[in-house]
Amino acid sequence: MARNAWGLSATVLLVMITSSQAESQMITAHRGASYDAPENTLAAFRLAWVQQADAIEGDFRLTADGHIVCIHDADTERTCGVKCVVADARLVDLQSLDFGRWKAPSFAGLACCTLEDVLATVPAGKRIFIELKTGPEIVAPLGEILEKNTIEAASLVIISFDERTIAACKERLPGVKAHWLTSFKETQKGTNEWQPSVEQILATVGRCRADGVGLHARRQVVDEKFVRQLRRGGVNEFHVWTVDGPDDARFFAGLGAMGITTNRPLLIRESLRLP
């Protein structure tokens, strides 16, 4: 890919809302079609496209020998039954483990996949949300991979809970969209007061120069007033995660979320009556 292509702004997917339903909504498969296939595996990502996802989302970490691999946890114990710390492991060590059997015997033998493997599954016109689970040290190798890859910058959104990582991405890859992620915590049980506040989110976005935010889909927090305050503060682009219920999907679509991240892309697409 020509280097100057990365200076271009990514295409903004506009969300048009009617009074009854969203006419356009990006459905993002969370760790792939992870309700039906082992999360963060090529099987899950390929199934996501079969299930009509508009985008996939995967979690990525850096190995000891400098590879970027697709795994949510800091170690492999939950998904492989053997504890291997990703940051201390070589790619060959991780690829010797079985990443599929835990889900069902039919998935036995699935290997740890790299970022390059996952990018290769993305069809033309589709998108990928790349969640970085480490600090800024992953950004330089990420940039090298993306600049060698043929995928268009407009097909990419980088996401992270670490504002330092988002800031580093905007410095290294200014033409790629980056969203800062946040969950919410009730300040005191029963008060319905939640942190971070809209003001705190806006301050973080300003510091790291994020293009938007990814919000934990809590209906008691993210409502019309919340979104209105975000937009008044200059944040017009947001997506929500993880939404597996049709009622919740319709609620957040009605708020104008650019995307709905879900483990069940086909179910949510059908619930929103999308083509």
Instruction: Give the residue, 34 or 13, on which the prediction is more confident.
Output: 34
Taking residues 11-35, report their average pLDDT: 62
Which residues does 233 contact at the CB level (< 8 Å), separation at least 6? 198, 199, 202
- Average pLDDT of the chain, as a whole number: 92
Question: Residue 274: what pLDDT?
Answer: 86
109 neighbors 94 (Cβ within 8 angstroms): no
Architecture of the structural domain at 22-271: Alpha-Beta Barrel (3.20)
What's the pTM? 0.91
**3 or 209: which carries more pLDDT confidence?**
209
Contacts 24+ apart (CB under 8 A), 266-273: 266/33, 266/51, 266/52, 268/27, 268/243, 268/244, 269/27, 269/51, 269/52, 269/53, 271/246, 272/21, 272/22, 272/25, 272/27, 272/246, 273/21
Query: Residue 2 above 90 pLDDT?
Result: no
Predicted pLDDT at 24: 57
